[in-house]
Structure 1
Amino acid sequence: MKTYSAKPSDIEKKWWVIDAKDLVLGRLASQSALLLRGKHKAMFTPHMDCGDYVIIINAKHVHLSGNKAEPKKGKFYYRHTGFPGGIKETTAGKILDGKYPERVLQMAIKRMLSRNKMGRVQMSNLYVYPEENHPHIAQKPEVFDFANKNIKNKK
């Protein structure tokens, strides 16, 4: 018995659109990472980009469970300025209320993918928009109804 390995000519990519309104952040991120990686397909090959394109709309309305949106008890994101003592922190709630609320979802998905060239290619197949409108109508994306897969997916 031989192990199947997909060739670039065998790979067919689909376009999915997911409405993130009132969906739980971590569950949505893990399912999106699975679609981007291609692990939902029977022909999955780890060294090939066989994942699909994912469009996420209404990212600003994603739900954070527990106290993650709270300022003192919440989920913190850290960055460093490069100077001594230059560590900066912000909460997920501040980012969702800020100018670029889609970054919370992008960071969650990015941290679930590989940290190599393949992960960067798969991340380029992700499109996140804070509101409902998106410019990918011509690709005819199919609706991925993530909210009805499990009762816990919705807040």
Structure 2
Amino acid sequence: MDTLSYKTISANKETAHKEWVVIDATDQVVGRLGSKVAKLLRGKYKPDFTPHADCGDNVIIINADKVKFTGNKWNDKVYLRYTGYPGGQREMTPAQLMKKPNGEEKLLKRVVKGMLPKNRLGAQLLGNLYVYAGSEHKHEAQTPKSIDINSLK
């Protein structure tokens, strides 16, 4: 009996094909950008995707200060956090968050973090995200390739 034998390929740290990609966030909607970036970080676009391993790309987001929200979400959307003390629930809008130092980085990392797994792997994947407000970044030595985020599904 002639049969084909297929082996399930499970990527690990040594066999993962990680790349460096640059994404221009100019005039991109934050939530749609975040979901595509989370897929890139996770490695879901790759044929050798493995759910339990870090097989995604390293993502550099430039022009993060030029992102936009639809509607009036700059002032109406509320991000909550809790200090751990009674009465310690704090709220902040995206407009308030952008006014802080490194606010662009904090905003996009917060958005992407919510779309990653809530475990050690998610924390490790978030470390592969680099956000810059301007068009300059310090990762030229890695020779990142620029991709159009709108072409991804």
User: Could you tell me the TM-score, scaled by structure 2's length?
Assistant: 0.89
Given that 2:24 and 2:62 are in contact with CA atoms closer than 8 Å, whether structure 1 keeps it comes out as yes
2:16 corresponds to which of 11, 21, 26: 11
* Residue 103 (1) aligns with residue 106 (2): yes
Q: Tell me the secondary structure at the aligned position of residue 55 of structure 1.
A: strand
* Residue 140 (1) aligns with residue 143 (2): yes
Given that 2:104 and 2:131 are in contact with CA atoms closer than 8 Å, whether structure 1 keeps it comes out as no
- What is the aligned partner in structure 1 of residue 132 from structure 2? 129
User: Could you tell me the TM-score, scaled by structure 1's length?
Assistant: 0.88
- What is the aligned partner in structure 1 of residue 91 from structure 2? 89
Q: Aligned residues: percent identity?
A: 47
Deviation at 1:80, TM superposition (A): 2.0
Give the counterpart letter for 2:39 in structure 1: L
Q: Distance in 2 between matches of 1:8 and 1:102?
A: 27
Give the counterpart letter for 1:107 in structure 2: R
* Residue 51 (1) aligns with residue 53 (2): no
Root-mean-square deviation (CA, aligned residues, Å) is 1.7
Deviation at 1:55, TM superposition (A): 0.3
Q: Tell me the secondary structure at the aligned position of residue 79 of structure 2.
A: strand
Unaligned runs of 5+ in 1: 151-155
- What is the aligned partner in structure 2 of residue 113 from structure 1? 116
Q: Tell me the secondary structure at the aligned position of residue 149 of structure 2.
A: coil
**Runs of 4+ off more than 6 Å:** none
Q: Larger radius of gyration, structure 1 or 2?
A: 2
Given that 2:12 and 2:55 are in contact with CA atoms closer than 8 Å, whether structure 1 keeps it comes out as no
Deviation at 1:87, TM superposition (A): 1.4
Q: Tell me the secondary structure at the aligned position of residue 102 of structure 1.
A: helix
Q: Tell me the secondary structure at the aligned position of residue 17 of structure 1.
A: strand
Aligned length: 147
